């Protein structure tokens, strides 16, 4: 898939285009690890130098929601391990 098609598809999902990525300003795109059932919010999608998408996600942790975030980076080979919520 070409870089342009990735970006157009992400914009259709509600993303906002920046210089080298597409960011999601609302918590509208959640994904879940199929094995652990942990949910992540998609923050942005970057197209790497090889034209493959890289997804940056986060989730909250700590005693109260909103305290701290942990970020993960998903390469295209990891996509099969996650599902849309």
pTM of the model: 0.70
Confidence of residue 21 (pLDDT cuts 50, 70, 90): confident
pLDDT tens for 40-84 read 988 888 888 888 888 899 998 877 765 788 999 999 899 999 998
* The pLDDT value given to residue 39: 92
Nearest CA-CA partner of 69 in 37, 27, 28, 36? 27
Q: How far is Cα 32 from Cα 55, in angstroms, rounded to an integer?
A: 13
* The pLDDT value given to residue 85: 84
Q: Residue 83 forms beta bridges with which residues?
A: 32
Q: How far is Cα 39 from Cα 2, in angstroms, rounded to an integer?
A: 28
* The pLDDT value given to residue 61: 82
Q: Is the pLDDT of residue 27 over 70?
A: no
């Amino acid at each position: 898939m070409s870089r342009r098609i990735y970006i157009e598809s992400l914009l259709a999902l509600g993303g906002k285009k920046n210089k080298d990525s597409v960011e999601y300003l609302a918590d509208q795109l959640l994904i879940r690890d199929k094995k652990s059932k942990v949910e992540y919010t998609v923050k942005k999608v970057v197209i790497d130098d090889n034209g493959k998408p890289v997804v940056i996600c986060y989730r909250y942790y700590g005693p109260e929601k909103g305290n701290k975030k942990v970020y993960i980076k998903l390469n295209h080979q990891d996509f099969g391990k996650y599902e849309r919520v």
